[in-house]
């Protein structure tokens, strides 16, 4: 008799269930699990819940035991009473000391002001959200980086931003 046979549509709890648990399975594992649950009249959520409850509240003499063995995979779940210890020890990422944007993506933030971006080629202000479309239609599909790569154009865009800031009183 399997673990889920004990619970086949007879266990009801009055406590509200608010937490969610999810896992990834192969298609074959999922099909086998669904078939197993259908035979017992359980949903996936119920079956998973009962497996977890059995593992946590089960026989305390057993420190750990393999629950399932699949072709190349063995899932070993360890039932410990020390719930304060994290189940998975993942290294914590170090805070980044480099606050500069990554070198992989070009941005026009330096030339944006009040939701508009300075276009140094036609020397007008274009809505930031439409700047890419403006570059495609008015400048024959030039990329943002191509538009702002020429030092003369950078100077024009910088001048436009400074003028707008002066007008705004900044």
Which is nearest to 78 in space by CA: 53, 56, 47, 61?
A: 56
HSE at residue 87, side-chain half, CA atoms within 13 A, is: 8
Q: Which two structure tokens, joined as six digits, stand for 30?
A: 């999922």
Kindly report the backbone phi and psi dihedral angles of residue 78, in degrees, each rounded to the nearest multiple of 5, phi listed first. Answer: -105, 125
- Tell me the mean pLDDT in the region 16-28: 82
Express as a percent the part of the chain with pLDDT over 90: 16
Tens digits of residue pLDDT in 101-124: 556 788 888 999 899 999 999 999
Is the pLDDT reported for residue 38 higher than 90?
Answer: no
For the CA atoms of 57, 62, 6, 70, the dihedral, rounded to the nearest 10 degrees, stands at 110
What is the value of pTM for the model shown?
0.40
Q: Which two structure tokens, joined as six digits, stand for 118?
A: 């300075």
Average model confidence (pLDDT) for the chain?
75
Contact 161, 111 (CB under 8 A): yes
pLDDT for the residue numbered 75: 39
Pairing mode, strands 124-127 and 116-119: antiparallel
In the chain, % helix, strand, coil (3-state, to 5) comes to 40, 10, 45
Q: Which two structure tokens, joined as six digits, stand for 62?
A: 């057993």
Residue-wise over 126-154: b if at least 16 C-beta within 10 A, else e? bebeebeebbeeeeeeeeeeebbeeeebe
Strands (E), the chain: 64-69, 74-78, 112-113, 116-119, 124-127
Which is nearest to 118 in space by CA: 148, 86, 88?
A: 148
Express as a percent the part of the chain with pLDDT over 70: 66
- Determine the distance from the C-alpha atom of residue 34 to the mean position of all C-alpha atoms in its chain, rounded to a whole number: 27
């Amino acid at each position: 008799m399997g673990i889920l046979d004990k619970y086949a549509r007879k266990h009801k709890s009055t406590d509200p269930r608010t937490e969610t648990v999810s896992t990834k399975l192969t298609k074959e594992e999922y099909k086998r699990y669904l078939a197993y649950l259908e035979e017992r009249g359980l949903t996936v959520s119920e079956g998973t819940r009962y497996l977890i409850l059995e593992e946590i509240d089960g026989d305390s003499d057993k420190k750990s035991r393999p629950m399932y063995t699949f072709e190349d995979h063995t899932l070993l779940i360890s039932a410990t009473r020390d719930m304060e210890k994290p189940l998975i020890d993942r290294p914590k990422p170090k805070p980044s000391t480099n606050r500069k944007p990554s070198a992989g993506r070009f941005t026009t933030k330096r030339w944006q002001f009040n939701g508009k971006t300075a276009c140094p080629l036609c020397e007008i202000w274009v809505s930031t959200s439409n700047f890419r479309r403006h570059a495609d239609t008015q400048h024959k599909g030039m990329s943002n980086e191509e538009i702002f790569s020429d030092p003369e154009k950078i100077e024009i865009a910088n001048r436009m931003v400074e003028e707008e800031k002066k007008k705004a009183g900044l």
